[in-house]
Amino acid sequence: MIKKSVYELLKSDGLLPQEVQVKGWVRTFRSNRFIALNDGSTIHNIQCVIDFESTTEETLKRINTGAAIAIKGNLTESQGKGQTVEIQVSEIEILGDSNPDAYPIQPKKHSLEFLRENAHLRVRTNTFSAIMRVRSKLSFAVHQYFQENGFNYVHTPIITGTDAEGAGEMFRVTNFKDNEAPVNEEGEIDFTKDFFGKETNLTVSGQLEAETFAMALGKAYTFGPTFRAENSNTTRHLAEFWMIEPEVAFMDLEGNMDLAEDFIKCVLKSILKSCKDDLAFLDQRLTQEEKSKPQAERSDMSLIEKLRFVADNNFKRISYTEAIDILRNSKPNKKKKFQFPIHEWGADLQSEHERFLVEKHFKCPLILFDYPADIKAFYMRLNEDGKTVRAMDVLFPGIGEIVGGAQREERYDVLVEKMKKMNIDEKELWWYLDLRKFGTAVHSGFGLGFERLVQFTTGMNNIRDVIPFPRTPQNADF
């Protein structure tokens, strides 16, 4: 007898009938006869048809939604509608009971909010199992893309001793016990007595360390957890998220934009191939959800159409300055519809502006480049105009910023000057400055929030629904 996953069983037409064995969880049980069994290997269930002679009344009562069972039987062509094969059960064993009155995941539609509160069980639903399988395949596609293109995977530290990364508020890492942090003569906490002998935090980005690898191995990338203690309760921010950060020597901003675009297109194409069933399900789900929106807000493309569109069309590229002109003259700006009206060059773009450009004006992914130096990080390369830097953001429909990157400042003097202006301690970043002293060269890279990519790929509106156990303000359950 062959032990198989549901995925394998559903693909095995042609070799029937066949004695098989399978284990999984009961999704539904109807008419005391038909079990829909799922083992997580696919979005689809296998139908198991009970043979009364081999089953006791006692066992029948224990076939409840959520129960773990083992089935032996004959895999045959299905008589009924809706499936090609089914198992004629000869033996059934209850491995783990599930009390139907207490099990939270009933065979009905649950709200995403309710499922978030039951995150330990939500992956047993169609929606979340599909999302998490896509997430897994996506992370594989990320590695595959970089590995096939000569990049080295670098594990940058999670505990960092620099607070100059500048990407956001940080979580402190300390070994001081409650109320026992020693203070120095100035009355400040004396971190020299802490575990690392200095103040340490959870990293907000692996970029600075990844640059050291790019300047030795040529092409490097990180893909790991990052932490931001920002109190932003949005559908696009987590306190703990996974970031992908390639960094490449001898590559300028042009090359950086090409890399970001090619990378995103390639991983989407890979998912369109490897996750057909899950995407078909998520496509349906999104279409249903869209129906509850007012006509004007509905997307005119289905999920799969959107993914194809992005994978097959060039991203639009415009400078920050061009974007400001478009925004300044836009209808919502003139009619004072923006919460933050655009008056002049130099304004930081808010999510409402980014979404206007992507969703209303260009209707395609957009790369903005050459931002004002004042609104971007210290390490971005200054342009000849002296007021803009070689920064780029990739903006996506429904998501907003998905990538933030730049050509890095490779000139020692310019970088030091910039750090002084922005009050960044040179001593602390001595090693980063060393890269500009010894064999410096043009180099570039970007950061892509993995969850935002998963959001786009699965069509999920809230970032909390694309990571197994979301960490957000006031929430670290599970």
Is 451 a binding residue for ligand ATP by CB under 6 A? The answer is yes
> Are 248 and 259 in contact, with CB atoms under 8 Å apart?
yes
Query: Comparing C-alpha atoms, which of 452, 471, 472, 467 is closest to residue 122?
Result: 467
Least distance (Å) between residue 196 CB and ligand ATP: 24
Is 237 a binding residue for ligand ATP by CB under 6 A? The answer is yes
DSSP conformational letter for 251: -
Least distance (Å) between residue 123 CB and ligand ATP: 20
Q: Distance between CA atoms of 357 and 59, rounded to whole angstroms? A: 60
SS3 364: coil
**Residue 155 CB-density burial (10 A; 0-12 exposed, 13-18 middle, 19+ buried):** exposed
Query: Comparing C-alpha atoms, which of 178, 199, 202 is closest to residue 188?
Result: 199
Using the CB atoms, write b or e for 160-199: b if 16+ within 10 Å. bebbbbebeebeebeeeeeeeeeeeeeeebebeebeeeeb
Nearer to ligand ATP, 56 or 234 (CB): 234
Q: Which stretch binds ligand ATP (CB under 6 A): 138-146, 237-245, 329-337, 420-428?
A: 237-245
Is 418 a binding residue for ligand ATP by CB under 6 A? The answer is no
Q: Distance between CA atoms of 297 and 295, rounded to whole angstroms? A: 6
Nearer to ligand ATP, 122 or 452 (CB): 452
DSSP conformational letter for 348: P
Nearer to ligand ATP, 237 or 265 (CB): 237
Encoded one letter per residue, x for contact with ligand ATP by CB under 6 A and - for no contact, window 375-404 reads: --------------------------xxxx
Query: Comparing C-alpha atoms, which of 326, 305, 308, 312 is closest to residue 368?
Result: 326
Q: Which stretch binds ligand ATP (CB under 6 A): 61-69, 76-84, 232-240, 357-365?
A: 232-240
Candidates 447, 456, 459, 466; binder of ligand ATP (CB under 6 A) is 447
Q: Distance between CA atoms of 209 and 233, rounded to whole angstroms? A: 29
Nearer to ligand ATP, 191 or 450 (CB): 450
Q: Which stretch binds ligand ATP (CB under 6 A): 15-23, 267-275, 449-457, 469-477?
A: 449-457
Candidates 206, 449, 459, 470; binder of ligand ATP (CB under 6 A) is 449
- Asked whether the bond before 17 is cis by omega within 30 degrees of 0, the reply is yes
Query: Comparing C-alpha atoms, which of 398, 153, 138, 150 is closest to residue 259?
Result: 150
CA within 13 Å, CB half, 207 = 24
Encoded one letter per residue, x for contact with ligand ATP by CB under 6 A and - for no contact, window 189-228 reads: ---------------------------------------x
Nearer to ligand ATP, 219 or 237 (CB): 237
Candidates 29, 191, 223, 241; binder of ligand ATP (CB under 6 A) is 241
Q: Distance between CA atoms of 172 and 8, rounded to whole angstroms? A: 47
Q: Distance between CA atoms of 423 and 415, rounded to whole angstroms? A: 12
Least distance (Å) between residue 418 CB and ligand ATP: 18
Candidates 158, 167, 280, 433; binder of ligand ATP (CB under 6 A) is 167
Least distance (Å) between residue 245 CB and ligand ATP: 8
Least distance (Å) between residue 241 CB and ligand ATP: 4
Q: Looking at the DSSP assignment, which residues form a beta bridge with residue 160? A: 201
Least distance (Å) between residue 244 CB and ligand ATP: 9
Is 445 a binding residue for ligand ATP by CB under 6 A? The answer is no
Is 243 a binding residue for ligand ATP by CB under 6 A? The answer is yes
Read off the amino acid at residue 220. A
Is 448 a binding residue for ligand ATP by CB under 6 A? The answer is yes
Query: Comparing C-alpha atoms, which of 22, 25, 20 is closest to residue 38?
Result: 25
Least distance (Å) between residue 23 CB and ligand ATP: 36
Is 307 a binding residue for ligand ATP by CB under 6 A? The answer is no
DSSP conformational letter for 180: -
Which pair of structure tokens corresponds to residue 100? 């139907």
Is 349 a binding residue for ligand ATP by CB under 6 A? The answer is no
Report the interface residues with ligand ATP, using CB under 6 A: 167-168, 228, 236-238, 241, 243, 401-404, 447-449, 451-452
